[in-house]
Amino acid sequence: SIFCPEHLLKSLEKAGVLNRTRTMDRGKRIRKNWSSSWTVLEGGILTFFKDSKHSAAGALRHPSTLTTPEHTLELRGATLAWAGRDKSSRKHVLELRTREGSEFLIQHDSDGIIAAWHKAIADSIGRLGTD
């Protein structure tokens, strides 16, 4: 049943607070503006919610940041790679390009946390295929 807790937990692939910035909008380079946001990966869609002002605790003080999506990315046909030094001075940065030509950088100070996101997003892209 779709109502069983086990099913609900499986459909949610991953969620947490990440630093992110958009760098391209449909093929056009745009100015970086890093912000921290509650991020949810579910059903092949990656959603960045509004800036949570630093932390999960901050998000709890501003509940709209948990419910108002700022960017919704379709992962079908997207590509994911570790960003090179030319892309950011930060460490542990992932580069995600969507099929429509948007590019986002995703970052976390913890290498364990960013590695887990890398795996979850790559698995999701792999499951979706390219057609």
Residue 37, both tokens: 């946001």
- With the C-alpha atoms ordered 21, 96, 99, 75, is the resulting torsion angle positive or negative? negative
Q: How far apart are CA 36 and CA 107, in angstroms?
A: 9
> Considering the complex, what minimum distance in angstroms separates the CB of residue 89 from ligand I3P?
3
SS3 state of residue 13: strand
Shortest gap between Cβ of 104 and ligand I3P (angstroms)?
12
- For ligand I3P, the binding residues (CB under 6 A) are 31-32, 34, 88-90
**CB closer to ligand I3P, 53 vs 76:** 53
Burial state string for 51-68 with b = 16 or more CB within 10 A and e = fewer than 16: bbeeeeeebeeeeebbee
Residue nearest ligand I3P by beta-carbon distance: 88
Residue 55 per-residue DSSP state: S
Q: Which is nearer to ligand I3P, 22 or 124 (CB)?
A: 22
Q: Residue 98 or residue 103: which is nearer to ligand I3P going by CB?
A: 103
Q: Whose Cβ is closer to ligand I3P: residue 47's or residue 88's?
A: 88
What minimum distance in Å lies between the beta carbon of 8 and ligand I3P? 36
Q: Closest approach of Cβ 12 to ligand I3P, in Å?
A: 29
Cα distance between residue 36 and residue 46, in whole Å: 15
